[in-house]
Amino acid sequence: MSQFKDVLKLLTLVTLLLVSHAGLGAPGGNEHPVFQLVKWELTANPELGRESFIRMGHAILCNLGTQELPNRLKAKLNLHAFQSADHDSQIEMVNLLTDDELKTLIVIPAELKYLEVSEAEFNKLSDHRVFELENGGLEKFRALIQFKKYGMTYYRWPIHPLAKSEDSPVFKMIERLRGQAPKLKKGFLKFNFTSSRSLIVFHDSYDDSISLKISLPKGEGPFKQKAVSMKGWRAWTDHNRWLKAFSPDESNPHLVLLREPYGLALADSTLSIDDGLLARDLKDLLGGAFYYLPVFSVMTDTAGVEIATLNGSDDPYAFWTEHLIRPLAMAISELRARTGAEHTSPHSQNLMVELDSELKPTGRIVLRDFDFYIDDNIFYELNSLGLKSEGLTRSGFQFVGFALRNGFQTLPSWLDDKKFGQWIEQYFQVYRDHFSKVTEIPPETAFDSADIYKYSYWQYVPVLDRDYLTGAKANFHVIYFSTLSRFRDWYLNWLSGKEGAQPINPDLNSTPSQDLSAENKPSAKYQSTNTEPLPLEEFSTFITAKTTFDSLDSRLEIATSEAKSMSLGDRKNWVQRVGMESLAEAHQNSRDPKAIFESLLLVFEIEPLFVHEIAKRNGRNPMKVDESNPYFSKIKNLFNRAEELNSNIALIRSGSKEEVIKSLAVVEKVLIRPYTSNADAFAYRLKREQDSILRGELALALARFAKDDSTVKSFLENNKQLVPQEFVGRVEDVINGRETNCIGIVRQAS
């Protein structure tokens, strides 16, 4: 039996590493690890379909030489006739290929067209930047992008093969400078597609290859518009600097960071356009000792099963739990602990499993794409680089996320929804354990008891009864650090080199036996609105503590006043700090109906739909008392108001035009406060609505919020193109406080 297994492993390895492009620098006669990555990216990706294959295949054929077309495709397609035909005829020719033939075609490297731009031309633009991060291999990047001609420095600026050259911002900039359209060059660079906008780019062989992130303007189909703006470029380069300083190579035994050590960015104020590119290091792939398997390829019945089988496992789920979920949780938790950096899109496209030369998992996860944010508390604690916080940070303590399935709909036969839910649980448990191990934060910090939230419709809601996946786009799951005050104290003190944690306020960490009678009231600062502003982080812990829940009066009064002055963003963060799980539990344990009502009223003041979620969790009678109690009817009325608002918000997001108009009239009644749920719903529908009149009404509703809220005002300013021309003046009047009638024309008519 052991001999049979050895033969099976050998056959699987040979199948996975079948030679096809050994001439491109493949070591040992096997496919080069970079080319194997390309194959997995494009042919072991369930989310890439025939439409994507046709678009990529068309671009490959347009940039191939006759000698580069495999014989099996030469028999099916005349390359000279193809390249001489018009666009529509070319698409028809590509469409005649089978899926297998298309998969053969799209992994072929082709010539990459580029502009040659002189440094002198760069200097004529309003802004130009070169980013270089010492990473032990900058010469490789410079050799592909920079060169000397006529004694001057020139740069090769690639044009994405799926985009028209005239749509490139750099093409437009150079056309303006030269007074004529620049000519594209080719012959020096070759490329392979990947599953994203990035390209694998090289000159002679894969041994000198890099991954290049460039703009994809006006992409169609599954390839959405993905421009590299100057603002985004600067954030990415600063994140590279940050992670180079605080997570140097080999410092995290579970993680490989594919750094982006080289980049260019240009801006033209005359044309009001900008563009950028970033080069990503492929690190150990170039030496031939390792392979990188994309996580979306893990989650298949092909590569995922084959590699598990090769390693002696007949249970892919158990195998990848051990070799993907556990090391991923440890890698990300250690990165977060030491740097404060949280990846904004940790999905299966941005994560890969490192395999050795025999395709055995090494225990390390590969992370690409530096879309991070840094909690500003940690940023200000650690920042010794002189970096500005713009584009780098988010205020307060945020969350840790799990999103392998974000944008990924197709699951393999060995991974159903229930098992994926178990992956979510195991990920957060390993994350917690390893975070505590790295930081030496003890279990009693309550990190272990934190709720898991899922993104459902318009906000994050707690996961109930292990229902991880029900709800629109319920494929992003988080734990909020902001709800764990003791944990935060320990963590910040660990970062600053202190021992243990000093509680912010001892009153909030009282023992269950503490007497909370009138003779032992909390500190005076919670009893008068004439003192310093209420520290909301502390109040979040206080309001949900079982021992203090029944004496809320003065604190609720102050907190309600505090909440009325908060911006939408702060209000949303505050609600997340409270933690619905804890508040619902506090309700169930309280014997004071008045305290329950007043705490609900406070939450309603901040976000009514949070009250709706509490009602769903606890039922209509959370007090379990006689319904004749006067506060029961008040609580019931509050629940009814929240439910009505919830129904109308849902209609605004997805209802018909008539339903939206009626719902706007209902929601208008609660516009005394700009609730986050209202603003989110209006913005969501505004971005998707085709009817110009209804778009105008939604914009007016948002404008009424914008009068008092910078978050909404910023949204409207950044999305002016969504406001119909005939509404622009009225929207500006509302924002500036000049509106005389708060009811829109459509609603008056209805």
Judge whether residue 535 has pLDDT over 80: no
**Inter-residue contact 291 to 37 (CB < 8 Å):** yes
My answer on whether 548 and 535 are in the same domain is yes
Q: How distant is the alpha carbon of residue 504 from its chain centre?
A: 32
What's the count of helices (H) and strands (E) in the chain, helices before strands?
31, 21
What's the chain's average pLDDT? 78
DSSP code per residue over 552-595: -HHHHHHHHHHHHT--HHHHHHHHHHH-HHHHHHHHHH---HHH
Name the percent of the chain in helix, strand, coil, to the closest 5: 50, 15, 35
My answer on whether 330 and 464 are in the same domain is yes
Q: In which band, very low, low, confident or very high, does the pLDDT at 745 lie, cut at 50, 70 and 90? A: very low
My answer on whether 137 and 183 are in the same domain is yes
My answer on whether 395 and 298 are in the same domain is yes
Listed residues 51, 73, 106: the one ending a domain: 106
Q: Of 100-109, 133-142, 371-380, 473-482, which one has max mean pLDDT?
A: 100-109
CB proximity list for 349: less than 8 A, separation 6 or greater: 195, 196, 294, 295, 296, 407
Give per-residue pLDDT as tens, 579-635: 555 566 666 666 667 777 777 777 777 777 777 777 766 665 555 556 777 777 888
Q: How confident is the model at residue 662, as a pLDDT?
A: 78
CA gap 317, 301 in Å, rounded? 11
- The owner of tokens 């309600």 is 560
My answer on whether 339 and 426 are in the same domain is yes
CA gap 246, 339 in Å, rounded? 6
**Inter-residue contact 210 to 275 (CB < 8 Å):** no
My answer on whether 445 and 299 are in the same domain is yes
Judge whether residue 528 has pLDDT over 60: no
My answer on whether 462 and 527 are in the same domain is no
Q: Of 205-219, 235-249, 627-641, which one has max mean pLDDT?
A: 235-249
CB proximity list for 404: less than 8 A, separation 6 or greater: 295, 299, 346, 347, 348, 351, 423
- Residue 308 is assigned to a structural domain of this protein: yes
Give per-residue pLDDT as tens, 655-706: 788 888 777 777 666 554 556 767 777 777 887 788 888 888 888 888 877 7
The domain in which residue 612 lies consists of 503-646
Tell if the pTM clears 0.75, that is, is over it: no
Judge whether residue 112 has pLDDT over 50: yes
DSSP code per residue over 122-140: HHHSSEEEEEE---S-HHH
The stretch 251-266 carries a mean pLDDT of 94
What percent of the chain stands above pLDDT 90? 38
CA gap 586, 580 in Å, rounded? 10
Strands 341-343 and 351-356 come out as unpaired
Give per-residue pLDDT as tens, 12-42: 443 444 333 333 333 333 689 999 999 999 9
What are 385's two structure tokens?
A: 């680089």
My answer on whether 431 and 324 are in the same domain is yes
Q: How confident is the model at residue 511, as a pLDDT?
A: 25
- Residue 495 is assigned to a structural domain of this protein: no
CA gap 331, 333 in Å, rounded? 6
My answer on whether 314 and 205 are in the same domain is no
- Residue 244 is assigned to a structural domain of this protein: no
CA gap 35, 680 in Å, rounded? 44
My answer on whether 422 and 547 are in the same domain is no
- Residue 240 is assigned to a structural domain of this protein: no
DSSP code per residue over 9-68: HHHHHHHHT--S-GGGT-GGGSPPHHHHHHHHHHHS-TT--HHHHHHHHHHHHHT--GGG
- Residue 316 is assigned to a structural domain of this protein: yes
CA-based diameter of the chain, in Å?
A: 94
My answer on whether 116 and 214 are in the same domain is yes
For 73-88, letters b (16+ CB in 10 Å) and e give beeebebeebeeeeee
My answer on whether 512 and 641 are in the same domain is yes
DSSP code per residue over 508-562: GG--TT---SGGGPPPGGGS-TTSSPP-HHHHHHHHT-TTTTT--HHHHHHHHHH
How many domains in the chain? Answer: 5
Judge whether residue 749 has pLDDT over 60: no
Q: Of 8-22, 179-193, 565-579, which one has max mean pLDDT?
A: 179-193
